[in-house]
Amino acid sequence: MKVIDSDLLSVQEARICAENASAAQKKMAEFSSARLDKIVEGIASDLEPHLKELAHLSHEETEYGNPQHKYLKNKFVCNELRRQLRTLRCLGVLNEDREKRTMDVGVPLGVVVGLCPPTNPVSTAIFKTLIAVKSGNAIVFSSPPLAKKTSFRVLDLIIESAEKHGLPQGAISYLNTISEAGTIELMRHKAVSVIVNTGVSELLDPALQSGKKVIYGGPGNGPVFIERTANIEKAVQDIIQSKTFDNGIVAAAEHSLVVEACISEEVKRELKKKGAFFLTAQQSEALGEKLFLRDGRQSDEMIGLSAARLAKRAGFHVPEDTTLLISEQKYVFHENPYAKEKLCPVLAYYVEEDWENACEKCIELLIGERQGHTLVIHSEDEEVIRQFILRKPVARVLVNTPAVFGGIGLTTNLFPSMTLGSGAVGCGITSDNVSPMHLVYIRKVGYGVRDVPGDLV
């Protein structure tokens, strides 16, 4: 009987993939920006007929979310991202100041490691591929074990298309044997320059210890605040559209709702009118016990389910057309499941006397899990909005827009991205919506324009 050590096999694959990627990237370095752009266009076009199939495959394999919504995310990446990339220049001479005689030159980082979450295995893989190719980098993926079949399918389609359009073999690859040991070996390999980790928190520490640059789009747990001057009907509609999209598995979604006391009853009425269900204390306790495991991790069995299915698994019944399950809370503390990120249509509901107290509550929620991802405020008071922008330990503040759609750049002018950096407050090197510009370094060029002063010679 032949015994195969999966860890050793994965480690060997990691070394081979990294070395092949490095060799392929050296060939890519000779490509013009126009040639790389054509490959990007070709990959996106070739994937379009498969986007619905991939969305359904992802849902079937993981049972997370809503296949139609997954299809919309896949389309967003292939269409909106591609449109933005057409007008973006990230290699060669980017800026030139003829008067000061300086230049900025964009240069690829080299080999990228891509880590994707099981909640968004297709759209994230496509996104990372397109920005890597656009910026002249090779990329090696370590896929999520829970979405292995889906990940391999989309990456096989990507590789076939990329090589058909002229990308060197090995420029896009993935580990066939997935193990933590192999992924760690890949991240530490001398050929690798940068790690783009989207929501794979269990691999964050090994990534940070690898000695490489780490771009981290971490868990969200973002609060949303409805201030007294807000358009309450629109704010509630935005929150429901966002938190129910793909059954709440997008990390950028709202996780806790904070409202001022003077408008709380009106907000509650609007939420109920739009299908939200406020839990009793007993129902809150029953659901909270099911949401997380004893070690603090969210239960896979509760991720991405509809509100009605969540309630059923917690042992109670709500109408089938329920949009959100809402638990009224007072305090933020580590053991409180409702103060954590909930990748399902569940919201915590906090009431505060004024915007100053609401501000403090939002800070508590943001630092509770040290993520600092995204905050949303609904308000027409520019001074209050400014105070929230200036005071929050957060990577991204969204104003009067749904968190999911504003965060990825659909309803805002932020860069269209499936990796939302959480920056220094949530680990990683950037708080931006990740783009090809994060996969290049800028070479500075300066011409001599004056002689050395005499007193220095």
User: How does pLDDT run across 30-89, given as a tens digit for each residue?
Assistant: 999 999 999 999 999 999 999 999 999 999 999 999 999 999 999 999 999 999 999 999
CA dihedral 347, 350, 354, 360 (to 10 degrees): -90
Give the CA distances from residue 442 to residues 3, 106, 108, 213, in Å, rounded to whole numbers and listed in that order.
48, 5, 9, 15
> For the whole model, what pTM was predicted?
0.93
User: 365 in helix, strand or coil?
Assistant: helix
Note whether 341 and 369 are within 8 A (CB).
Answer: yes
For residue 202, give the amino acid letter. Answer: E
pLDDT the model gives residue 425: 53
Mean pLDDT by 10 residues, the chain (457 residues): 74 97 97 97 97 97 95 96 95 95 97 95 97 98 96 98 97 96 97 94 91 85 94 98 95 94 97 97 95 86 95 96 97 89 95 93 81 87 92 88 95 93 68 93 95 80
pLDDT tens-digit map of 158-172: 999 999 999 999 999
In terms of phi and psi (left: phi > 0; alpha: psi -120 to 50; beta: otherwise), the region of 9 is alpha
For residue 366, give the amino acid letter. Answer: L
Cross-strand partners of 105: 93, 443
Cα distance from N-terminal residue to C-terminal residue, the chain: 78
Helix (H) or strand (E) holding 83: helix 82-86
Q: At the fourth CATH level, which superfamily is domain 222-407?
A: Aldehyde Dehydrogenase; Chain A, domain 2 (3.40.309.10)
pLDDT the model gives residue 427: 64
For residue 434, give the DSSP letter.
Answer: P
pLDDT the model gives residue 3: 46
CATH top class, domain 6-218+431-444: alpha beta
Around Cβ 413, how many Cβ atoms within 10 Å?
Answer: 7
pLDDT the model gives residue 370: 61
pLDDT the model gives residue 293: 87
Report the C-alpha gap between 167 and 154 in whole angstroms.
Answer: 17
pLDDT the model gives residue 1: 40
In the chain, ranges of CATH 3.40.605.10 domains: 6-218+431-444
Report the C-alpha gap between 211 and 189 in whole angstroms.
Answer: 10
In the chain, ranges of CATH 3.40.309.10 domains: 222-407
